[in-house]
Amino acid sequence: MALPAHISPAATPAASSRTPTYAVVGNPNCGKSTLFNALTGLKQKVGNYPGVTVEKKVGTTYSQHGQPITVIDLPGTYSLAARSPDEAVTRDVLLGRRADTPMPDRILCILDATNLERNLYLLHQILDLGRPVIVVLNMMDLAAQAGLNIRVARLEHELGVPVIPCEAVHGKGLVELRVAMSRLEVPLARHAWDVPAAIAPAVSELQASLVANDGKSPLIARAEALLLLTDQDSVRVAGSVPLHAKTHEILQAWQKRWEGEGTDWAATLVNSRYDAIGTIAAEVVLAAGETGPTRSDKIDAVVTHPIWGWAILGAIMTAMFVSIFTLAEYPMNFIDEHVAALADFVKSSMAEGDLRDLITDGAIAGVGGVIIFLPQILILFFFIGLLESTGYMARAAFIMDRLMSRVGLNGKSFIPLLSSYACAIPGIMATRTIEQPKDRLVTILVAPLMSCSARLPVYLLMIAALVPGDRVPVMTKVGIMLAMYALGTFGAFGFAWLFKRTLLRGAPPLMIMELPPYHFPRFRDVLLHMVERGWIFLRRAGTVILAISIVLWFLSAYPKFPDATASEQLAQSFAGRAGHVLEPVIEPLGFNWQVGIGLISSFAAREVFVSTMGVVFNAESDEEDTTPLRDAMLNAQWPDGSPLFTPLTCISLMVFYVFAMQCISTIAIVRRETNSWRWPLFQIGYMTGTAWIVSFIVYQAGRALGFQ
């Protein structure tokens, strides 16, 4: 095959003394992040569903000679014609448009061997860049299971670049890949693709202008020219250098001419590329006759069934919450006893005074009240990791699509919403995969309504107060928990429906969702994910929550009233006064000023409510021994002697936390993702307003019906 005119076998940049940089690119869910982690030893989040990586990630690997190699993991994309912000990151890095990232010297293009023809489209565009490329043919085991025989040597011959068969999940092929990456020179592609005759003159003219006026290299200029003809967004990419007026003029002149002639230039280019890809695929992929449904297909027939699918989803959620309540009981008791023992030890070892109170009533009560929930957080993330790893999450999105389409969203919105069950921040970042700006904004606005893991300690504390004792069946607690999760989910759908019909009107998007093949879960990844999240939880408890607990202790202990009882002291303290100011607003919801202190402090983060209750009820206690928080809360009373935490108050409080926007970090990320203060302020307003109204309805209606 002849070397195309636009490609010259120049020395590759990696031959220079600088650390070579590899960009890892490929279609969504082809195993890029798994390969990136295997090469760099980093622990980037991986998941068996598309759209896990929405930003570039950088790591270092080493050649077989021990030389460092920089590896950049880029978000997955089906084509360089970007349709969403995350895909634009990939395109811009590859084209050297990003000021913060130098153009990579070489490209590792990961292809999903089970779907080679579709994956070749992106590779075909990348080869146009004329840069050294190593092709990694991933998931070879799954391709073999699907009855596909891929002629690797033939593909290598057709493309003229190294092709490494690989199973990144099992670490197979990594040695060969490292050897290929260690080569001083990687051959440039020999693939020839004749641009259709009707388009070729325009490509040449644009290429010349991009070189002369926009300062592009001839190779990049050709790729840019082809992209300009198929990707309208490429002309006006935010943050990139605008096109020179002359280049823009040439582009418009050609488009006008083709419009006059009735030529669909974009379709002509795309079809021509598909023809070339089809020829390669026909040579390379040999299917073992007519194959029946795969194992994944058979499982999907049940798991995505309109009735059974919902039943399985419900069963999985129930199993998750049953595990959270039952398995966590012993470690929780263990932590609880040791926290109390530590506080008692400090009390017995130190003389009375402020420092002792700060340590016991502030630091230990605050942090101890939160870390008691560590076992439950670990179980939650174990389940989430397991579901992500197997590929079930994508099925959950598929099941929910019918419901989502009714509210004007689609499956692509559901992945960010699912991520928000763990934490709204990665969920909001994951909205970058959504093409339509209005759909993306709606998803950002409703994502914090999904019950994140920070709400879990609040729910658990309230459920413990609501249904105390071991005599209550665990399914009652599970039922309450499921109801809170369902309320958040349906609340999110309801508001999405409202926003799509009022503020952010738009046509309902089509569902385009790839269902990845099922994988046996990689327990190492699942456990790593779980431990990492547990560590993050502990780190927060040991830093932010500790600091807030200490400050809160001060606010609840000062100014000093030497003759006052503990209750009077707390009521007249700075925190007590703030709670009293808020009390008239929250009293109709069933909350008093002590709960008000918790609502104010938990604006920093929801779980701070629990540590605040720990500090408030410990500060109020006259007892020398440490009382468990749940018991202290159950003993709390209104001035008339009636109990403060009735079942109705507990439900009202949980409902408040389902809807309230109590998270500074989420506000900051919404500000960044929407590039304005308008939307986060709107979000605070509508969520807090809804929280108040729904809690009011629950509490007042409950009372009217005779509940306590």
Interface residues with other proteins (CB under 8 A)?
21, 42, 45, 55-60, 70, 72, 101, 350-358, 419, 422-423, 425-426, 429, 536, 539-540, 544, 546-548, 550-551, 553-554, 664-665, 668-669, 671-672
Least Cβ distance, residue 171 to other proteins (angstroms)? 22
Contact between residue 447 and residue 82 where contact means Cβ atoms under 8 Å apart: no
Nearer to other proteins by Cβ, of 159 and 452: the residue is: 452
Nearer to other proteins by Cβ, of 497 and 603: the residue is: 603
Nearer to other proteins by Cβ, of 241 and 350: the residue is: 350
Nearer to other proteins by Cβ, of 57 and 500: the residue is: 57
Contact between residue 138 and residue 35 where contact means Cβ atoms under 8 Å apart: yes
Nearer to other proteins by Cβ, of 651 and 670: the residue is: 670
SS3 readout for 621-637: CCCCCCCCHHHHHHHCE
Q: How far is CA 363 from CA 239, 341, 615, in A?
A: 46, 14, 8
Nearer to other proteins by Cβ, of 366 and 375: the residue is: 366
Residue written as token pair 């607690």: 477
Nearer to other proteins by Cβ, of 397 and 667: the residue is: 667
Rounded to the nearest 5°, which phi and psi values hold at 165?
Answer: -70, 145
Least Cβ distance, residue 637 to other proteins (angstroms)? 29
Q: Which two tokens stand for residue 360?
A: 């016991």
Helix axes 608-620, 593-601, angle to 10 degrees: 140
Nearer to other proteins by Cβ, of 504 and 557: the residue is: 557
Contact between residue 325 and residue 478 where contact means Cβ atoms under 8 Å apart: yes
Least Cβ distance, residue 522 to other proteins (angstroms)? 17
Single-letter amino acid code for the residue at 574? F
Spell out the residues 6+ positions from residue 410 whose beta carbon is closer than 8 angstroms to its own.
Answer: 401, 404, 439, 508, 509, 510, 511, 512, 513
- CA separation for the pair 315, 309 (Å, rounded): 10
Nearer to other proteins by Cβ, of 211 and 379: the residue is: 379
Q: Which two tokens stand for residue 379?
A: 């179980």
- CA separation for the pair 511, 492 (Å, rounded): 19
Q: Which two tokens stand for residue 167?
A: 């199973």
- CA separation for the pair 48, 134 (Å, rounded): 24
One DSSP character per residue, 661-706 reads ---HHHHHHHHHHHTSSHHHHHHHHHHHHHHHHHHHHHHHHHHHTT
Instruction: Identify the H or E element spanning 57.
Output: strand 57-62
Least Cβ distance, residue 183 to other proteins (angstroms)? 22
One DSSP character per residue, 326-382 reads HTTHHHHHHHHHHHHHHHHHHHHHS-SSHHHHIIIIIIIHHHHHHHTTHHHHHHHHH
**Could you tell me which residues are beta bridge partners of residue 59?**
71
Nearer to other proteins by Cβ, of 176 and 532: the residue is: 532
Least Cβ distance, residue 576 to other proteins (angstroms)? 17
- CA separation for the pair 85, 430 (Å, rounded): 10
Spell out the residues 6+ positions from residue 394 whose beta carbon is closer than 8 angstroms to its own.
Answer: 48, 49, 50, 415, 513, 514, 515, 516
Nearer to other proteins by Cβ, of 247 and 573: the residue is: 573
Angle subtended at Cα 690 by Cα 685 and Cα 692, rounded to the nearest 5 degrees: 100
Nearer to other proteins by Cβ, of 216 and 432: the residue is: 432
Spell out the residues 6+ positions from residue 575 whose beta carbon is closer than 8 angstroms to its own.
Answer: 552, 555, 556, 597, 616
Least Cβ distance, residue 428 to other proteins (angstroms)? 9
Least Cβ distance, residue 268 to other proteins (angstroms)? 39
Nearer to other proteins by Cβ, of 243 and 374: the residue is: 374
Least Cβ distance, residue 543 to other proteins (angstroms)? 8
Least Cβ distance, residue 532 to other proteins (angstroms)? 8
Please return the burial class of 6, using the count of CB atoms within 10 Å of its CB with bins 0-12, 13-18 and 19+: middle
Least Cβ distance, residue 271 to other proteins (angstroms)? 38
Nearer to other proteins by Cβ, of 207 and 683: the residue is: 683
Least Cβ distance, residue 604 to other proteins (angstroms)? 8
- CA separation for the pair 467, 479 (Å, rounded): 12
Least Cβ distance, residue 535 to other proteins (angstroms)? 10
DSSP for residue 507:
P
Least Cβ distance, residue 238 to other proteins (angstroms)? 17
- CA separation for the pair 697, 659 (Å, rounded): 13
Least Cβ distance, residue 88 to other proteins (angstroms)? 18
Least Cβ distance, residue 665 to other proteins (angstroms)? 4
| Three-class secondary structure of residue 59 per DSSP | strand
Nearer to other proteins by Cβ, of 455 and 540: the residue is: 540
- CA separation for the pair 462, 482 (Å, rounded): 14
Contact between residue 353 and residue 516 where contact means Cβ atoms under 8 Å apart: no
Residue written as token pair 């290429």: 207
- CA separation for the pair 541, 535 (Å, rounded): 10
Least Cβ distance, residue 117 to other proteins (angstroms)? 32
Nearer to other proteins by Cβ, of 58 and 179: the residue is: 58
Least Cβ distance, residue 125 to other proteins (angstroms)? 24
Contact between residue 630 and residue 468 where contact means Cβ atoms under 8 Å apart: yes
- CA separation for the pair 352, 285 (Å, rounded): 79
Nearer to other proteins by Cβ, of 540 and 630: the residue is: 540
Q: Which two tokens stand for residue 566?
A: 């503990």
Rounded to the nearest 5°, which phi and psi values hold at 38?
Answer: -65, -35
